[in-house]
Amino acid sequence: MPRPFTPKVVTANALMSGEVVYLSADDQWTPRLTEAEVLTDEAHAQLRLVEASARQSEIVGVYLADMAPTDTGPEPVHFREEFRRTGPSNYAHGKQVDL
């Protein structure tokens, strides 16, 4: 029996900087997970993934990441996505400077 569809966001790495980015509802790549479009329909999520995958001059490694919708925006449900959201943990740089 197939698993029920869970909310997702489209995520990738920016081609030039390597930074983790998320696709927003207005088709912009944003480094902020709170600005990502939360996809709750499986067919729409697959369409957004295909569209994002075609933007090879901007991003690399695009995929759908499971999220839990909250009042403050999507929250990762897996450790990997939490780690990607905050960046490397060896010292404060990049996104960690803003925290």
The secondary element (H helix, E strand) that includes residue 46 is helix 42-53
Please report the DSSP string for 30-76 in residue order: ES-GGGSPPB-SHHHHHHHHHHHHT-TTTEEEEEEEEEEEETTEEEE
How far apart CA 93 and CA 99 sit, in angstroms, is 10
Q: What is the pTM of this model?
A: 0.85
What are the pLDDT digits (tens) for 29-39? 999 999 999 99
pLDDT of residue 17: 87
What are the pLDDT digits (tens) for 40-81? 999 999 999 999 999 999 999 999 999 998 998 899 999 889
Structure tokens at 45: 């999520």
